[in-house]
Structure 1
């Protein structure tokens, strides 16, 4: 059965502004205000979910969603690099950063490899497109890396394509289809025209 999966990237916060590796922190005032303003543009869905990060949960709440936390939508586990910037890590561990950027199966930070992230998110995505697929679709607030991994999996792209996808805050990415066959509509801003 075909299912519509709508992924909203969370609003801005201080960690995102500083380009920190998945630094889990609350939304800043601007992010909270923008999420509240976008609440009327959120499409309807049969199931609403949120990644477990504070940023995702708070964005879901500001959008007016009663979203259940979905552990499978956890952000990319960056191990000991969590909370640091790429610049900080590159200065301290240049060889490890080069390995991480060049090999999708590498996890020099002690967390999750890119292949691992794509497999995890792909498994969640494919579990939605089976015979018990929700008719009205699934809407989830998920970290940008999760959205990128879903697109890579859905379109069967190489893992390297992950690095070429940009997901802006408070944008909607839609996947429609089923396990093994997905179509993608990328990164539309949450405005009145995305409703419905």
Structure 2
């Protein structure tokens, strides 16, 4: 049995452009238009899920997907930093930000550490491997990072070295505990899917 999980990052939003910890904002008009235009580029799936965030649910809807809300691939809980930019937090709490960026086990904001989100997303991905067929998951960029770290057995420090642009697809496919990675296809570039 081969499982495929295609992670789709949300369309652009004000918070994403400002490097702001999720504050529940909506995708912007340009992001929604790009998502609607990309709707036809997605392959069929046996399961479609979305992170609980507003921008992931709105992206899924703009892509024409009926997504089930899934807490396993939810965004990193940024605690009291929610809604603030990294620059704002860095100016107010430079030592805490430095600790958070240097130590993936640190959570000075009172939420989840990077290690915690990698473990949570990894457990969800391992469970998803039991699904025969394709899963589409519209998730926050940090969830894509955590999934890649887990699937490839990378150290959690690699989390900070992975960039996930808006409205791109990252595919993991595998069987028997081994994942292969296909990175960053832009959704509005239609290419034939041999499995479709």
Shorter-normalised TM range: over 0.9
Name the CA distance, whole Å, in 2 between partners of 1:178 and 1:48.
19
SS at 1:106 equivalent: coil
Which of 181, 184, 196 is the equivalent residue of 1:184?
181
SS at 1:71 equivalent: coil
TM-superposition CA deviations, 1:120-178 (whole Å, max 9, x none):
00000000113xx23x3101100000001000000000111111100000100000014
SS at 2:26 equivalent: coil
Aligned to 2:21: 21
- Could you tell me how far 1:194 is from its partner in structure 2? 5.8
Aligned to 1:91: 91
TM-superposition CA deviations, 1:46-92 (whole Å, max 9, x none):
10111100100000000000111111121010000011111100110
Structure 1 unaligned residues grouped into runs of 5+: none
Q: Tell me, yes or no, if the aligned pair for 1:126 and 1:178 is still in contact at 8 Å.
A: no
Give the aligned CA root-mean-square deviation in angstroms.
Answer: 1.1
Aligned to 2:191: 193
Aligned to 2:141: 144
SS at 1:44 equivalent: coil
Q: Tell me, yes or no, if the aligned pair for 1:125 and 1:179 is still in contact at 8 Å.
A: no
Name the CA distance, whole Å, in 1 between partners of 2:99 and 2:27.
32
SS at 1:172 equivalent: strand
Q: How many residue pairs end up in the alignment?
A: 193
Aligned to 2:170: 173
Name the CA distance, whole Å, in 1 between partners of 2:13 and 2:155.
30
Q: Does 1:154 align with 2:112?
A: no
Name the CA distance, whole Å, in 1 between partners of 2:173 and 2:106.
30
SS at 1:66 equivalent: coil
Q: Tell me, yes or no, if the aligned pair for 1:8 and 1:140 is still in contact at 8 Å.
A: yes
Pair 1:179–1:100, CA change in 2 (3 A): farther
Aligned to 1:32: 32
SS at 1:138 equivalent: strand
- Could you tell me how far 1:179 is from its partner in structure 2? 5.9
Task: Please list every run of at least 4 consecutive aligned residues from structure 1 whose deviation after the TM superposition is greater than 6 angstroms.
Answer: none
Q: Tell me, yes or no, if the aligned pair for 1:127 and 1:179 is still in contact at 8 Å.
A: no
